[in-house]
Amino acid sequence: MDINTVSRQDLFDQVWSKPMRALAAEYGVSATHLKSICVSLDIPVPIQGHWNKVAAGRPVDPQPALPETDDLPGKVTIMASGDRSWRGRRALVARYAAKIGKVPLTKPFHPLIAPLATDKEARWEHRGMIANGTLAEAVDRSEQSSTGRRRLMLVSSLFWKLEAYGFVLELAERREFIARHKDGRINFKLQEMLKLELVKRDFSKDPLARFLGRSKHQIYHLTGLLCFEIISYDVGAGTRFIRESRPGELDGRLSEVVAMILVARDVQIENAEDNKAREKYEAEARERAAEERRRQEDLARLVALERARFNAFVDAGERWHRINRARSFLDEVRRIAPAKASPIEGRSIVEWCDWAEQHLKERDPLKDGASSFIVDALLSVGEST
């Protein structure tokens, strides 16, 4: 998977230099996804029909300026999704099949398949019985038929070929097989197709069916035709099964079967890489968001600190103003005080004035100078908040 990092300015210039669909193809994403990225980054995009007017030589709206903002990231990472359509997958299967060439039917049987070829109990444990809807009839797939032997030969040859590509093979329940690789597992089936027949019931022999209103019951018939199917649901779009239209058709299409499993492996590996890249991108986005939250919190603390310091400055100014008014009042008291007056509580008026002067000096915010006032009255606010 391709990962492209582009600046907001460069993406804006590219969007206005060519049609959105052509630019999206270069990044390996859809035009809708690329447009959503532009919207999230507040990047203006041409209106619908803009490039048709350009091609026709008609006047168009001028390119606007890129809005300036500090709240959006300056760069964006665009992860290419590749051609994940069913056409793209089918084309990849065809290329793989051509490269693989003809896959021969090899003997002896693969060690995992040999017990199924020789032991009926092993076939039974691999779910050889398929019952119909009423459980009255059943298809015993544990019995070995010519189509069953051909099926096991194809599976064995497929196992040998897949092991050569590094797969680890296993048997699973319900007649399934597992091909494991380093990034996942692919479940698949290769089995004989069944034909369903609806048979009219004889109500005289089955009164319960009359009571339940079931006029027909199901009977399955073996067809002698094989069907290969990938049943893992995380392998994306594309070819998932091959059905025989005539007996023996699948014998010559084993290379296509191998190619389908290889494409499924590539899809799972690609999905794993996508998930890792997405997790990394999301982790980086979370880190950026956390960093932005920390920045906003620091800014809020700074604003609160500045507000608290200013409030402390205003409070100190009000105290200084009250003290100066008190000093003026004290000067007036001294001016009108009689030269000879009886003591008040053992103190003369002069002593009481000296007492008031001392308290005014102690409460004066500027008693120790401007520097001391800033340190004691303003910077101390930062230590307490």
**Residue 7 clears pLDDT 80, i.e. is over it:** yes
pLDDT at 1: 45
Cβ(27)–Cβ(80) below 8 Å:
yes
Q: Closest Cα to residue 85, out of 130, 30, 147, 36?
A: 30
E strands, the chain, in order:
3-7, 75-79, 129-131, 138-140, 168-171, 176-181, 184-200, 216-230, 241-243
**How much is the pTM?**
0.57
Poorest-confidence range of 96-110, 148-162, 369-383? Answer: 369-383
pLDDT, residue 153, reads: 92
Instruction: Give the per-residue pLDDT at 166.
Output: 92
Q: Which tens digits make up the pLDDT trace of 234-244?
A: 665 556 788 99
The mean predicted confidence, pLDDT, of the chain is 82
What confidence score (pLDDT) does residue 130 get? 42
DSSP-assigned states of every residue in 272-330: HHHHHHHHHHHHHHHHHHHHHHHHHHHHHHHHHHHHHHHHHHHHHHHHHHHHHHHHHHH
Q: Is the pLDDT of residue 385 over 80?
A: no
Residue 131 pLDDT grade (very low, low, confident, very high; cuts 50, 70, 90): very low
Average pLDDT, integer, range 322-330: 90
CA distance linking residue 29 with residue 158, whole number of Å: 35
User: What single-letter amino acid sits at 5?
Assistant: T
**59 contacts: CB under 8 Å, gap ≥ 6:** 53
What does the pLDDT read at residue 238?
Answer: 54
Given a cut of 50, is residue 77 above it in pLDDT?
yes
Task: Please state at what angle helix 20-27 crosses helix 31-40, rounded to 10 degrees.
Answer: 100
Q: Does the pLDDT of residue 137 top 80, yes or no?
A: no
Q: Summarize the confidence of residues 228-234 as an average pLDDT.
A: 80
Q: Which of 10-19, 135-144, 200-209, 274-283 reaches the highest mean pLDDT?
A: 10-19
| pLDDT on residue 192 | 86
Give 161's pLDDT tier (boundaries 50, 70, 90): very high
CB-based contact 184:235 (threshold 8 Å): no
381 pLDDT higher than 90: no
Mean pLDDT score, 315-322: 89
Residue 152 CA: distances (Å) to CA of 103, 120, 225, 243, 260 = 15, 13, 13, 16, 19
Residues 262-298 pLDDT 10s:
888 888 887 787 778 778 878 888 898 899 999 999 9
Give the residue, 356 or 2, on which the prediction is more confident. Answer: 356
Question: What confidence score (pLDDT) does residue 136 get?
Answer: 37
